[in-house]
A and B are shown apart, each in its own frame.
Chain A
């Protein structure tokens, strides 16, 4: 039975992930049917490429450091302080994380770009500097740190620190010797995650980087769609694949360390009202950062989209005279929703089966290896997935180029890790003996799943579905490779509009981004209501 559970996801990953990746490797390193591993060195030898590689790495490092610096006080505030509106604010902080990268890029463009808010007020433009990219990355990843570090922090038993203080440690020493070591793996894990996301950043850099700044992802896309050098693109993908594999391995290691025996308590008992001027000032500071860094860009985005009289930009979306697409931009909404629904169904099915298989306590090495495999598409980056689809699934034996299912399949691939990560902790928390109790009372294995597991994971299943939906709705990196011009998705349409000159195109991009943001935010707020004490990793 377990074999059956594993077979479907394994087959899915073999066909839609392993096969495309293999195709990329072959395309990059095989010249006239002969393996040429020297190609790696050749490509790395080009100074342009080395420049891209260097920029990719240092901007990821800088983004990670900046995110930690700004978000760690936030993690502390959310973990230890109780204040009115905390629940809502926690949801608000998470909104950027599920926002499409294209929207994030657009929002920062509206804030710090040409004709942006800062330009208007003080004549300051940051879109030609790396700061726009770094700030957008902080915006995007603030929630990652608050959730992973703050989540653990709020569950650390404060009595551990009290025990240290009773043994003579000062307040600071107690924190340094008890809390900090407990938090360190979570901080490391969050930092790695942020590094991974920023290392493979595509949409943000594509929009804010201009001609100056280019990450590996953007370069792969450029080589494919502008220079048509698929072979170099493939080599770059392989390089990225190796780098990401290494980062993921380190991440898996820190996650395992994080699972080591910590005394965790219910988060609701550890938070209390801030006391004293210092704590109130900290709270106020964190709130101010959230307002300026997280809320302001989104507000500016909405404001810019309304800049034309009578919702002019929104009305312009309904006509196709812009000539950017073969259809009116507004149709992208319908496309996106349809794709997202199908992608969600696939992701929940595949991810659910995989999570069920991984739950088994007697899971062997094979199954655990499968766990790591499932995480790969998340880290390996959407561009790899899209590029792989482009070159692998467009010819026999598997020619899906002309079918609409290609886009949802790619989006589902990106969504599956989210589904697994959300379901797994909940499924693992179901006591095996509850299942045994049901079996002894006469329930067959299928009935056991329906009567015991399903009622407990129903909520997690909905949350997972919501995540998969938001992810596929905002998915850009993979979709941009394979979406057909007559069927663009929202993010693709936004990027296309931004790529063209003229106020009308710019305004329409803002309007479409606003629509996309609202759909994603609504999906997330619904999720936040469903979310209970047991949270997944995201």
Chain B
């Protein structure tokens, strides 16, 4: 009886690990799509309304879902440091302090690069930078979607199979 309970717990545990990974893939895919939408909204705000960066960050925090909204809110909260810290550094440090965004190194670099143009004199330069970032994140989101589609069932099955395998070894 003890062995049976142990086996069930073990299989449940490994299955849960597999499902957590699936959930992470789904979450990552959703975050990347959210970033694409946020970049498009930022482009529209800057090009059509010439919205100042503090107001822009505030609006983005309201228009997006967690954890992307937290990212914009954190930037907005740090804008009081301007002068001591450049906007680029505030932006880059906020990305580094946001592991909940589940971004890869390449994705972080693309988002960081955007800050080099934000708040410059030329709205056209910012528009080009935002379009570049948008295209990159559309591609990241597409890849993440593909990976989620391909790997979700595999990881769920692998989790359960790993549990069964360990149980068989231990019995």
Q: Do A and B bind each other?
A: no
A-side residues, CB < 8 A to B, are: none
